[in-house]
Amino acid sequence: MRQFHRPFKLVACEVFKKDILRIQHRFNLTSQYDTLFLAFGYHRNPKELSKKLQEIIDKCTDYEYTILSYGCCGGGAMGFEVKETPVVIPRVHDCFDIFLGRQKRTALFREEPGTYFLSDGWVASDGTPFEKLNNNKSNLTVGLEDNNLITLAYSGYKRLVFIRTGSELDITNSRVRLSASMMGWDMVEINSDMSVLHRLLNFQWDSNDFLTLKTGERFDIQRLIKSA
* pLDDT one-digit tens code per residue, 146-196: 556 566 789 899 999 999 999 899 999 999 999 999 999 999 999 998 999
Q: Given pLDDT bands bounded at 50, 70 and 90, which one contains residue 5?
A: confident
Q: Are residues 72 and 143 in the same domain?
A: no
Q: What is the 3-state secondary structure (H, E, C) of 104-168?
A: HHHHHHHHCCCEEEEEHHHHHHHCCHHHHHHHHHHCCCCCHHHHHHHHHHCCCCCEEEEEECCCC
Position 2 in a domain: no
Q: Are residues 102 and 181 in the same domain?
A: yes
What pLDDT sits at residue 142? 43
CA distances from 163 to 41, 72, 131, 134 (A): 21, 19, 18, 23
Position 146 in a domain: yes
Q: Are residues 110 and 185 in the same domain?
A: yes
Ordered DSSP codes for 173-208: HHHHHHHHHHHT-EEEEEE---HHHHHHHTT---TT
Position 1 in a domain: no
Q: Are residues 168 and 89 in the same domain?
A: no
Look up the pTM and report it: 0.89
Q: Are residues 104 and 186 in the same domain?
A: yes
58 contacts 191 by C-beta, under 8 angstroms: no
Q: How far apart are CA 126 and CA 223, in angstroms?
A: 29
Position 206 in a domain: yes
Q: Are residues 149 and 214 in the same domain?
A: no
What average pLDDT does this structure show over 24-46? 94
What average pLDDT does this structure show over 79-87? 93
Position 61 in a domain: yes
Per-chain mean pLDDT for the chain: 89
Position 3 in a domain: no
Q: Are residues 80 and 142 in the same domain?
A: no
What pLDDT sits at residue 145? 47
Q: Are residues 208 and 177 in the same domain?
A: no
Domain that holds residue 149: 97-191
What average pLDDT does this structure show over 191-217? 93
Q: Are residues 84 and 118 in the same domain?
A: no
What pLDDT sits at residue 144? 44
Q: Given pLDDT bands bounded at 50, 70 and 90, which one contains residue 224?
A: low
Position 37 in a domain: yes
Q: Are residues 130 and 112 in the same domain?
A: yes
> CA geometry: angle at 28 spanning 11 and 163, to 5°?
60
Work out the number of other CB atoms within 10 angstroms of the CB of residue 186. 14
Strand 115-119 and strand 87-90: the pairing is unpaired
Q: What's the domain count of the chain?
A: 2
Q: Given pLDDT bands bounded at 50, 70 and 90, which one contains residue 2?
A: low
Total residue count of the chain as it appears in this document: 228
Residues 6+ apart with CB under 8 A from 79: 50, 54, 218, 219, 220
- What percent of the chain stands above pLDDT 90? 72
Q: How far apart are CA 43 and CA 207, in angstroms?
A: 26
What pLDDT sits at residue 140? 41
What pLDDT sits at residue 152? 79
Position with higher pLDDT, 9 vs 225: 9
Q: Are residues 116 and 103 in the same domain?
A: yes
Residue-wise pLDDT for 123-146, tens only, equals 999 999 999 888 754 444 444 445
Q: How many CA atoms lie within 13 A of 69 on its CB side?
A: 32
DSSP 39: P
What pLDDT sits at residue 149? 56
Q: Are residues 183 and 115 in the same domain?
A: yes
Position 182 in a domain: yes
